[in-house]
Structures are given as C-alpha cells and as structure tokens.
Amino acid sequence: MSTRDTKRQGVYAISVAAELVGTGQQNLRMYERKGLLEPRRTEGGTRLYSDADVARLRRIGELLALGLNVAGIGLVLDLEAENDSLRGELSRRRAGYGKAP
C-alpha cells in the first residue's frame, strides 16, 4: 500500500476525528451532509476518517475562522483541489519536455 493510500485509509472513529480537530461530532456529520467530505464507512455504516479527512477538517476550520460559510468553503475546497490537479499536470508536462522522444 502506498503512502497516499495509507493517508486515505479510514482509521479514526467520528469521536476521535472530532477531538483531533477540536469540533463536535455533529459538525462532522453536517460537513458530510453538505458534501465537504466523505468518510469511509464500515459494512455496518460506522464512519471512519482518514488522515486526509482530518487534514481537510482542519482546512475547513481555518476557512470557518476566516468567516466563510459552508457554501463558500465548498467552493474554496473545490478550487484548491482543481489548482492542485493543474499543478500536478503542469509538473508532469514539464518533466516530459526534457526527455528525448
């Protein structure tokens, strides 16, 4: 399993994830309902949060502290993800230019 995969593996119960980011469990449920994150689920339906989910929750907290509402946070997170994707694409293209065909 790659490092990226382990960062996305659900390991934290909702109570632990909420404690790690300093918020209530009801907020995590609301963020999920609003589409801001999608934790993994066990076969029984228990939410499991990954390190990537916890990082995203921390980013949500930062944006809330800046005064953004949930809808605005969704837009910012989408734009940040698109920006990261475009940067990765640009890096791959730049890396390919130095190689002979």
Which domains occur in the chain, in start order?
A: 3-97 (1.10.1660.10)
> What digits encode the pLDDT tens for the residues 12-65?
999 999 999 999 999 999 999 999 999 999 999 999 999 999 999 999 999 999
Q: Please give the helix or strand (H or E) that residue 20 lies within, else none.
A: helix 14-21
Q: Give which of 65, 8, 18 is closest to 39, Cα–Cα.
A: 8
- What is the identity of the amino acid at 31? Y
Per-residue pLDDT at 12: 96
